[in-house]
């Protein structure tokens, strides 16, 4: 279960969903009883309320996908020696914000984006100021990154989906709020406003900004050796007390998609790494509860860049939590997710939660039953009885 080849499976190209089902809640849903490792039902997301009761609290990732892909056609630029050139066909793909007017990006053609070169895109002037292992650092004159992307960017679709402008609206959740992702939390796409109204259980929202590397396959023969990408998280500081209340009232926590899972399962490690001055913001009861949870956790390098924002009473941090078989799940009880690419960290996470052999059997059944795969595809609800 630790060999990369264990996470390969054959998928006919016709099963890769090229467009979303309308309405999105009509996508198929497999309900899996994790306690008995059986398929309990095969239905649609619209019927989720039949299987998720008032003893559950559901957590969503409310990150909003940026229009992060800027196509460059016949775009003029100046080299640092002031000679004028033209990009016939190129691209700037936003990765992450550094300041209001600087950001990291993937670019093509790379040989045109040399340090000191300047690009004119409409009213915006963009300077190449640094090369990095992940691309370029770009600086905007006369405007902000957000203004630039809003005007000239388009929503990025995954590489396995043929792009069309009409599909962009389907690649944003109905509750997207905090801008920062370059890929959608796709299991959340099934949750239309109508379905959210139909679900009367407690709903909670947190924010993990999904990076492009989510589509990157594992590149080590042993999946445990892979160094996963870091992703940025924003949480209200009240989440620690909220989760304590949920657990002590014997309710179960449902994570929607792997990003909500990574966020929630990062919390014990975040608590272990919190500076004492931040822990002092909590009452003694909350501190005792989380200290007990974090007591036996090994020190790790999963959590970094922790900052407290007093104006919003929120914590911002990066997580590199990597969930593989044998991982001890502390926070989540149930998982709602799509069917993922082979050899991906997402599939490894699902295998860690459901069980390696059980996941292989479920995926075989999904292929044989012609479920639709990947971002616009169908999904499953893995739950304790």
Q: What CATH number has the domain bearing residue 88?
A: 2.40.10.240
User: Of 89, 117, 152, which closes a domain?
Assistant: 152
Answer whether residue 318 is part of any domain: yes
* pLDDT tens, position by position, 329-367: 999 999 999 999 999 999 999 999 999 999 999 999 999
Q: Are residues 60 and 197 in the same domain?
A: yes
Range picked from 149-158, 211-220, 369-378 for highest mean pLDDT: 369-378
pLDDT value, residue 89: 92
What are the structure tokens assigned to 14, written together? 């016709």
- How sure is the predictor about 77, in pLDDT bands with cuts at 50, 70 and 90? confident
Choose the weakest-confidence range: 81-90, 288-297, 314-323.
81-90
Say whether pLDDT at 277 is over 80: yes
Element (H, E) at 231: strand 231-236
Q: Are residues 189 and 299 in the same domain?
A: yes
Q: Are residues 14 and 26 in the same domain?
A: yes
- How sure is the predictor about 82, in pLDDT bands with cuts at 50, 70 and 90? confident
Answer whether residue 161 is part of any domain: no
Q: Are residues 289 and 244 in the same domain?
A: yes
Say whether pLDDT at 216 is over 90: no
Say whether pLDDT at 385 is over 80: no
Element (H, E) at 129: strand 124-132
User: 184 lies in which domain range?
Assistant: 4-65+167-383
Residue 175: which CATH number?
Answer: 3.40.1780.10
pTM over 0.85: yes
Percent of the chain with pLDDT over 90: 86
pLDDT value, residue 214: 76
Q: Are residues 217 and 356 in the same domain?
A: yes
pLDDT value, residue 6: 97
Query: Do 172 and 142 form a contact (C-beta atoms < 8 A)?
Result: no
Query: Do 335 and 254 form a contact (C-beta atoms < 8 A)?
Result: yes
- How sure is the predictor about 143, in pLDDT bands with cuts at 50, 70 and 90? confident
Buried b (16+ CB within 10 A) or exposed e, 131-141: eeeebbbbbbe
User: Of 125, 152, 179, which closes a domain?
Assistant: 152
Answer whether residue 158 is part of any domain: no
Q: Are residues 32 and 103 in the same domain?
A: no
Query: Do 385 and 41 form a contact (C-beta atoms < 8 A)?
Result: no
The per-residue DSSP string of 93-109 comes to EEEEEEETTEEEEEEES
Answer whether residue 159 is part of any domain: no
Answer whether residue 160 is part of any domain: no
Q: Are residues 83 and 43 in the same domain?
A: no
Q: Are residues 61 and 197 in the same domain?
A: yes
Query: Do 52 and 383 form a contact (C-beta atoms < 8 A)?
Result: yes
Quick one: DSSP state of residue 13? G
Round the average pLDDT of the chain to a whole number and report it. Answer: 95
Answer whether residue 157 is part of any domain: no
Task: Give the whole-angstrom CA distance, residue 31 versus residue 15.
Answer: 20
Helix (H, G, I), strand (E, B) or coil at 246: helix
Q: Are residues 181 and 210 in the same domain?
A: yes
Quick one: DSSP state of residue 222? B
Helix (H, G, I), strand (E, B) or coil at 244: helix
User: Of 152, 184, 200, which closes a domain?
Assistant: 152
Strand partners, 222: 3
Q: Are residues 290 and 347 in the same domain?
A: yes
Percent of the chain with pLDDT over 70: 100
Say whether pLDDT at 69 is over 80: yes
Burial class (CB in 10 A: 0-12, 13-18, 19+), 385: exposed
Q: Could you give the number of structural domains in the chain?
A: 2
Say whether pLDDT at 298 is over 90: no
What lies within 8 Å, CB to CB, of 140 at 6+ separation is 101, 102, 124, 125, 126, 127, 148
* pLDDT tens, position by position, 18-40: 999 999 999 999 999 999 989 99
Q: Are residues 344 and 234 in the same domain?
A: yes
Answer whether residue 56 is part of any domain: yes
Q: Are residues 148 and 173 in the same domain?
A: no
Q: Measured in whole angstroms, how far is the alpha carbon of residue 228 from the centre of its chain?
A: 13
- How sure is the predictor about 246, in pLDDT bands with cuts at 50, 70 and 90? very high
Say whether pLDDT at 300 is over 90: no
Query: Do 384 and 27 form a contact (C-beta atoms < 8 A)?
Result: no
């Amino acid at each position: 279960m630790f060999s990369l080849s264990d996470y390969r499976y054959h998928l006919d190209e016709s099963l890769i969903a090229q467009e979303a089902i309308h309405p999105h809640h009509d996508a198929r849903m497999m309900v899996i009883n994790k306690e008995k490792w059986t398929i309990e039902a095969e239905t649609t997301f619209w019927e989720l309320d039949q299987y998720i009761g008032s003893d559950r609290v559901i957590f969503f990732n409310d990150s909003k996908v940026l229009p992060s892909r800027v196509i460059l056609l016949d775009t003029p630029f100046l080299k640092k020696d002031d000679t004028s050139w033209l990009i016939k066909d190129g691209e700037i793909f936003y990765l992450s914000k550094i300041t209001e007017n600087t950001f990291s990006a993937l670019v093509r053609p790379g040989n045109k984006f040399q340090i000191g070169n300047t690009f004119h895109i409409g009213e915006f002037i963009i300077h190449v100021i640094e090369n990095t292992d992940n691309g370029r650092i770009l600086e905007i004159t006369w405007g902000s990154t957000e203004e630039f992307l809003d005007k000239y960017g388009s929503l990025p679709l995954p590489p396995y989906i043929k792009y069309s402008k009409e599909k962009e609206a389907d690649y944003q959740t109905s509750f997207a709020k905090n801008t920062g992702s370059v890929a959608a939390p796709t299991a959340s796409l099934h949750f239309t406003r109508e379905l959210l109204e139909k679900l009367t259980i407690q709903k909670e929202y947190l924010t993990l900004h999904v990076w492009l590397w989510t589509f990157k396959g594992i590149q080590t023969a042993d999946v445990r050796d892979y160094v996963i990408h870091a992703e940025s998280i924003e949480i209200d500081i009240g989440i620690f007390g909220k989760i304590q209340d949920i657990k002590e009232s014997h309710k179960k926590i449902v994570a929607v998609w792997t990003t909500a899972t990574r966020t929630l399962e990062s919390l014990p490690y975040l608590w272990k790494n919190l500076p004492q001055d931040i822990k002092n913001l909590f009452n003694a009861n909350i501190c005792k509860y989380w200290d007990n949870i974090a007591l036996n956790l090994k020190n790790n390098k999963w959590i970094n860049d922790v900052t407290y924002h007093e104006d919003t009473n929120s914590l911002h941090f990066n997580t590199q939590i990597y969930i593989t078989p044998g991982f001890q799940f502390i926070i989540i009880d149930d998982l709602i997710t799509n069917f993922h690419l082979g050899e991906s960290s997402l599939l490894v996470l699902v295998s860690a939660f459901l069980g390696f052999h059980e996941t292989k059997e479920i995926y075989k059944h999904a292929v044989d039953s012609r479920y639709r795969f990947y971002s616009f595809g169908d999904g499953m609800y893995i739950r304790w009885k």
